[in-house]
Amino acid sequence: MKNTLLLIDGNAILHRAYHALPALTDKRGRLVNAVYGFASVLLKALREIKPKYIAAAFDLAEPTFRHKLFKAYKAKRVKAPQELYDQLPIIKKMLKAFNIPIFEKAGYEADDIIGTISYQLSVSSPCGENRFAQSSYQSIKIIILTGDLDTLQLVNKNTQILTGLKDMTMYNEEKIQERYGLKPDQIVDFKALKGDPSDNIPGVPGIGEKTAIELLKKYKTLVNIYANLDSIKQSIRKKIEEQEEQAFFSKKLATIIHNVPIKFDLDKCVTEEYNKNKVISFFQELGFKSLINRLERG
């Protein structure tokens, strides 16, 4: 697809694939179900999107700035089994076989790296503040390939979210409006109110999805909600008034940042012709016969 950058949320796809697919081992006895799922999604995206540029982002094991702000961040998540993490190096080896650059930064999540890249490219112009080297300033279209909806806040006229494994859904501004009744830039305030149990972001106790959406439909932003407390019915006002500090703190935790100090050159992310024999050999080693067939069909 002309001038399209495909950004892969590596950890999100890894986790989704691991939990969605049954156990699968290679001839060395290693569990490789997540690798298979990741590869399958990658081939599907390459075939259907045909991106001009491509890159992948991953989390690192070190605590992020959010953990430093809030020790309980993601604390309720059940730690994934080691056999999931053991597949991560194999996935990265596969991406290198496809000539796909990988971006990681200690202290930040993959979402922040993706947010930095997508924001900087979407606001760039020849006279703008874009600090990334790139070959073209003509409206880069960005598609974020992920396994969850954490990046919905990044959607704009140039950025869309593609999520899922076999059955994939594309989220643009209209799709978010259809599902939530909100605009992408309201998603962070939505999380600030209702919280996010998966990341242990507290939100405002007693405010669920329905109430959060109703408030944002009427008042547009979290700031405006707190500026109009007198017009909110007492039962709801009491809950949010008592938790103002926590609501804004939750927003800070939920916000994907766009200033991660990384070196990103769009020219170095051009989707190159990879060595198909090298990839086939890699798939043969893992026993991915069906993926070899898909690769050879193109």
- pTM above threshold 0.75: yes
Separation CA 84–CA 78 (nearest Å): 13
Residues of the chain with pLDDT > 70: what percent? 93
**So what's the pLDDT on residue 1?**
59
- Burial (CB < 10 A; 0-12, 13-18, 19+), residue 26, is middle
* Domain 184-254, CATH homologous superfamily name and number: 5' to 3' exonuclease, C-terminal subdomain (1.10.150.20)
If DSSP codes are grouped into helix, strand and coil, which group holds residue 220? Answer: coil
Which residue is associated with the tokens 């930095």? 116
Which residue is associated with the tokens 């700035």? 65
* Domain 4-173+256-297, CATH homologous superfamily name and number: 5'-nuclease (3.40.50.1010)
pLDDT digits (tens, 9 = 90+) for 96-119: 999 999 999 999 999 999 999 999
Separation CA 245–CA 169 (nearest Å): 35
pLDDT digits (tens, 9 = 90+) for 132-173: 555 444 578 999 999 999 999 999 999 999 998 888 999 999
Separation CA 64–CA 243 (nearest Å): 25
- The residues pairing with 265 across neighbouring beta strands, listed in sequence order, are 133
**So what's the pLDDT on residue 130?**
52
Q: Where are the domains of the chain?
A: 4-173+256-297, 184-254
Q: What band does 128 get if pLDDT is binned at 50, 70 and 90?
A: very low
Q: Give me 113's structure tokens.
A: 């790296």
The type of residue at 76 is K
Q: Give me 161's structure tokens.
A: 């979210």
> Long-range CB contacts (< 8 A, 24+ apart) of 146-151?
146/8, 146/9, 146/12, 146/13, 147/9, 147/12, 147/13, 147/14, 147/15, 147/16, 147/17, 148/9, 148/12, 148/16, 148/198, 150/12, 150/111, 150/199, 150/256, 151/9, 151/111, 151/114, 151/115, 151/256
**So what's the pLDDT on residue 135?**
47
- The residues pairing with 5 across neighbouring beta strands, listed in sequence order, are 53, 142
